[in-house]
Structure 1
Amino acid sequence: MSLDDIDRRILTALQRKGRMSNSDLSEQVHLSPSACHRRVQSLESEGYIQGYVALLNARKMGVPTTVFVEITLQGQADEVLDAFEKAVARIPAVLECHLMAGSADYLLKVVAENTEDFARIHRQFLARLPGVGQMQSSFALRTVCNTTALPV
């Protein structure tokens, strides 16, 4: 399936407001409600739309501190990578984990209540991850832009 202009308008609208009704969406993209619904179902079944979520306010949820952690492993064997990835995926405070090209092997996005809470997360979870050779943490001072919307 290749995306046409209507599909792109649907995806753009849903990225801005995923809870809008089919009726509102169909008006916004200039389609009948039934045609719009079929398009959305097709975008879902083809995997363009992976799911729908509620985006929570980190400050109100008590985790306003964002820390980016660069991790270098002791080795690059598949077993080491697999063990690390399985373990890091079980840490609730880790929002993202990316295998990287460059000086670090992984880049993590971690949320915490404050620096003391991050120290606890570091001691109890990050320092115990399998295969870790080196870790460097950088605290975000301010979020300049933050979006989940992909370019359509």
Structure 2
Amino acid sequence: MDVDDIDRGIVVALQRDARATFAEIGAEVNLSAPAVKRRVDRLLASGAIRGFTAVVDPVALGWSTEAYVEVSYSGVVSPRRLTEDFSGVPEAVSAWTVSGVPDAVVQVQTRDVRHLEEVLQRIRGLPDVTGTQTEIVLSRLFRRTQD
């Protein structure tokens, strides 16, 4: 799919405010609301836009403890298996395969340290998990919104 400057402008507007109306976006990119809708539909169909989301402040919801958990498995573990395992942990907000000793790194968000300990016990109880190492975030310096 070819993406032009107008499409890029639409994407920038949606990244800034996914609740913006097609008319508001159209005013920014000099298109009518129906033309913006057609382009957004095309971007969605092509996979260039994968969806829309709400950016939530976990602390405002009472989830004030963030940690990164390195997880090691015995033997070879597939990314699919890791995805299945960590998708079953509601507190896991992101996960990555990594190079090095651990097989994956999982970002978790919990209410407090006690809740984090419960989550770690669940992760350690997953089949074939041989160990974890956890880093608790003390303060977030900045975050770029991207995926």
Q: TM-score, normalised by structure 1?
A: 0.88
Equivalenced residue count is 147
Aligned 8 A contact 1:15 1:149 in 2: no
The answer as to 2:130 corresponding to 1:126 is no
Structure 2 alignment gaps of length 5 or more: none
Structure 1 residues 52 and 133: CA distance shift in structure 2, 3 A? same
Aligned 8 A contact 1:84 1:129 in 2: no
Aligned 8 A contact 1:67 1:140 in 2: yes
Report the Cα distance in structure 2 between the residues aligned to 1:94 and 1:131, rounded to whole angstroms. Answer: 18
Aligned residue for 2:144, secondary structure, equals coil
Report the Cα distance in structure 2 between the residues aligned to 1:49 and 1:118, rounded to whole angstroms. Answer: 33
Quick one: which of 105, 112, 115 aligns to 2:113? 115
CA offset digits 1:40-87 (Å, max 9, x no partner): 111011111111122221011111111000111111155xx6544322
Higher relative contact order (CA 8 A, sep 6+): 1
Report the equivalent of 2:138. Answer: 141
- 1:15 CA drift (Å): 0.8
Q: What is the one-letter code of the residue matched to 1:122?
A: L
Report the equivalent of 2:18. Answer: 18
Aligned 8 A contact 1:63 1:111 in 2: yes
Structure 1 alignment gaps of length 5 or more: none
> Runs (4+) of structure 1 moved beyond 6 Å?
none
Aligned residue for 2:69, secondary structure, equals strand
Aligned residue for 1:52, secondary structure, equals coil
RMSD: 1.6
